[in-house]
Amino acid sequence: MEQIQITVGTSSLEEETVLEVKDLCVTRSGKLVLEDINLEIKSGEFVGLVGPNGSGKSSLMLSILGILKAQKGTVRIYGSPPMSRNQIGKIGWVSQAAANLKKEIRITVEELVKLGTLNAKNMFFRSRKEQNLAVENAIKMVGMEEHKHTDVSKLSGGQKQRAVIARALASNADFILLDEPLVGIERNASNSLLKLLDNLCHHEGNTILIVSHDLAAIRQTAHRMSFLEQGIWFDGSSDEFPDLNQLAHLRGIRHVHGHGNYKEEEE
Ligand SMILES: Nc1ncnc2c1ncn2[C@@H]1O[C@H](COP(=O)(O)OP(=O)(O)OP(=O)(O)O)[C@@H](O)[C@H]1O
Ligand SMILES: [Mg+2]
């Protein structure tokens, strides 16, 4: 078996390790869906996780969050296993489902973002004034000031995603994980969402791990990309991401195909 490994240069040795996945194997319904995954993410990195349908991207996210248990191997976030006390409020989770809030729920953007400030740590240590400030800042960061009092059900897909990201930011999350946040969002909105994430990384010091099918968009934005198909077959700078032929070759080496509708460009 062959794997391309390119080490992405890190500017400083002191950079904090946010995520460390070591030799991770995960089975679902008796089937091995993640095999020997090794992935390390440093503070301030913007990593795009790509791969065909059913390749294990969401499973890896769920393992990182501690929802799926490892058969073998370990996951460490800020040096501790998932769901440890030191991670309360530090991890923001944005899924496509998160933005698909039920139509019957009447909630404004501001109220939704405020929900992000309600976690065990914040409730004990934050004053109401601090909470309100965190909400204000988060709404500003995602550029949704004008829609603060708008009912979430009235927002476009892209705006809903921004609101959900603001909710994660209001919780003070440093490490933001997003699973397919671009699905159903038109190209302009998806570009500006990626730009927002890039800004969060560069100016606010957030660490981002994003799953997406939109290879072209991710390649333009993420600094680093990982190609996952049960195992990780490429991990390196986005500039060095293999083209479709090379990818097919990588996948061919493993003799595991038959599924996936992987597209380089989305219409
Ligand atoms: N709840 C589940 N129970 C059992 N197996 C599952 C479950 N969810 C997913 N799987 C299987 O795990 C494997 C990985 O699925 P996963 O959802 O992680 O892939 P994915 O890369 O996120 O795919 P997609 O791009 O379609 O979202 C697939 O073979 C899938 O059939
Ligand atoms: Mg998925």
pLDDT tens by residue, 87-143: 877 898 888 666 666 667 789 999 999 988 876 555 555 678 888 888 998 899 888
Which residue lies with its CA nearest to atom 30 of ligand 1?
54
| The 3-state secondary structure of the chain, one letter per residue | CCCEECCCCCCCCCCCEEEEEEEEEEEECCEEEEEEEEEEEECCCEEEEECCCCCCHHHHHHHHCCCCCCCEEEEEECCECCCCHHHCCCEEEEEHHHHCCCCCCCCEHHHHHHHCCCCHHHHHHCCHHHHHHHHHHHHHHCCCHHHCCCEHHHCCHHHHHHHHHHHHHHCCCCEEEEECCCCCCCHHHHHHHHHHHHHHHHHHCCEEEEECCCHHHHHHHCCEEEEEECEEEEEEEHHHCCCHHHHHHHHHHCCCCCCCCCCCCCC
Residue 97 is predicted with a pLDDT of 67
Residue 265 is predicted with a pLDDT of 41
Which residue lies with its CA nearest to atom 28 of ligand 1?
54
Which residue lies with its CA nearest to atom 16 of ligand 1?
56
CATH of domain 1-90+174-186+195-259: 3.40.50.300
**Residue 91, ligand 1, Cβ within 6 A:** no
**Residue 54, ligand 1, Cβ within 6 A:** yes
In the predicted structure, residue 37 carries a pLDDT above the cut 60? yes
The closest-lying atom of ligand 1 relative to the alpha carbon of residue 180 is 27
**Residue 28, ligand 1, Cβ within 6 A:** yes
**Lowest mean pLDDT segment, chosen from 68-82, 87-101, 177-191, 242-256:** 242-256
**Residue 48, ligand 1, Cβ within 6 A:** no
For residue 60, the CA-to-ligand 1 centroid distance in Å is: 10
**Lowest mean pLDDT segment, chosen from 121-125, 186-190, 250-254:** 121-125
| Cα 241 to Cα 30: distance, rounded to the nearest angstrom | 32
The closest-lying atom of ligand 1 relative to the alpha carbon of residue 259 is 29
What rounded mean pLDDT belongs to the chain? Answer: 84
pLDDT tens by residue, 48-98: 999 989 999 999 999 999 999 999 999 999 999 999 988 877 898 888 666
**Residue 89, ligand 1, Cβ within 6 A:** no
List of residues 6+ apart from 145 with CB closer than 8 A: 139
What are the domain boundaries of the chain? 1-90+174-186+195-259, 96-172
**Residue 220, ligand 1, Cβ within 6 A:** no
**Residue 116, ligand 1, Cβ within 6 A:** no
Residue 231 is predicted with a pLDDT of 95
Give percent of the chain above pLDDT 70: 82
Residue 5 is predicted with a pLDDT of 52
